Amino acid sequence: MSAYEIERPSGQLRLMNTVASEDAGPCHLSLHQSGKWALVANYHGGTSAVLPLGSNGEVGRATDVKRHEGVLGPRHAAGAPPGSFAWSGHDGPHSHMIQPDPSGRFVLAAGLGLDRILVWKFDAISGKLAVNDRPSVAFPPGDGPRHFVFHPNGRLLYSLQEEGSTLVTLDYDGATGRLTAKQTISSLPLGFVGTNFASDVAISPDARFVYAANRLHDTIAWFAVAAHGTLHFTGEEPTRGDHPRFFTFDPSGKLVYSCNQRAGAIVSFLVNRKTGALSHTGQCTPLGTPSFLAFLRDAGRA
């Protein structure tokens, strides 16, 4: 993991330091609300790590590393779309995402190969993870939980299943870290037949819609959020490029940007805040193999 200083006003990056993530294939990181800890998911190693952040922004050596342990799921998701050949991610535990809960008292990680979201208690003083009273929530065999997002109310979580191509709505108890699934819905339109790998999930700034990206189908779908947090498929928009690995809202919430990894381009879409619908702006930025995009929120720039 490397730390960079953002030089103003140019926005250029200056490398500060680099430390080991303590295992192979780091693929995702998030920051604790205190600003003192970075949380890293090591995909190939199947571990989750905690690294301290100094007052100057430099990264320190890991204070804790937890291996994802349990029974691996099958290669093929039991609930995959008809005709799907989506086989991947169950040759090891494969930590794919890690994030603190809204309170910062618990840390959650997507254990793709175990078909579970793992939950630890987090000590924000020592940077240590401890086994939670309910250490995980299980999903159908082979589903492969990849990414998740909390509802702004802190009482709901949406998990996107890579190989099952589904979105799971879960109730979240912030006092205990307990997750309870209550709805599963396809990330694809009714009647879809074939192979798809779901990739990313986000919730609109007003929390009225949840969005999910589909690779091979190459769309972003949107779902209306009902009163109790359950979802209803509302529509989808082609990403205008292959393999949308990641997408995000801009700070205004008026635009969505899709990182179309295999197309080598970032494509933008207007957001209809009333219906949730996306519409292509006609803008496309060629850029290597984009896999992530973040904005400087004080500047509104990527």
Statement: residue 299 has pLDDT above 70? no
Boundaries of every domain in the chain: 2-238
Q: Report the DSSP pairing between strands 231-238 and 219-225.
A: antiparallel
Picking from 63, 73, 160, the residue whose alpha carbon sits closest to that of residue 120 is 63
Q: Residue holding tokens 């979802």? A: 231
Statement: residue 62 has pLDDT above 60? yes
- Whole-model pTM: value is 0.97
Give the Cα separation of 209 and 120 in Å (integer).
Answer: 28
Mean pLDDT of 136-142: 97
Q: What is the DSSP string of 21-81?
A: -SSS-EEEEEE-TTSSEEEEEETTTTEEEEEEB-TTS-B---SEEEE--SPPPPSB-TTPP
Of 77-81, 119-123, 217-221, 240-244, the least confident? 77-81
Mean pLDDT of 8-37: 97
Residue type, 202: A
Residue range 152-171, pLDDT digits in tens: 999 999 999 999 999 999 99
Statement: residue 297 has pLDDT above 80? no
Residue 302's pLDDT is what?
Answer: 62
Percent of the chain with pLDDT over 90: 94
Residue range 179-194, pLDDT digits in tens: 999 999 999 999 999 9
Residue 89's pLDDT is what?
Answer: 83
112 confidence band (pLDDT: 50, 70, 90):
very high
Where residue 94 falls (left for φ over 0; alpha for ψ -120 to 50; beta otherwise) is left
Of 62-66, 85-89, 283-287, the least confident? 85-89
Q: If DSSP codes are grouped into helix, strand and coil, which group holds residue 226?
A: coil
Residue 179's pLDDT is what?
Answer: 99
Q: What value does the mean pLDDT of the chain take?
A: 97
Catalogue the E-assigned strands of 151-230: 156-161, 166-173, 178-186, 197-203, 209-215, 219-225
Statement: residue 300 has pLDDT above 60? no
Q: Residue 101 corresponds to which tokens in the numbers above?
A: 């809960």
- CATH number (3.40.50.850, 3.40.50.10490, 1.10.10.10, 2.130.10.10) of 2-238 reads 2.130.10.10
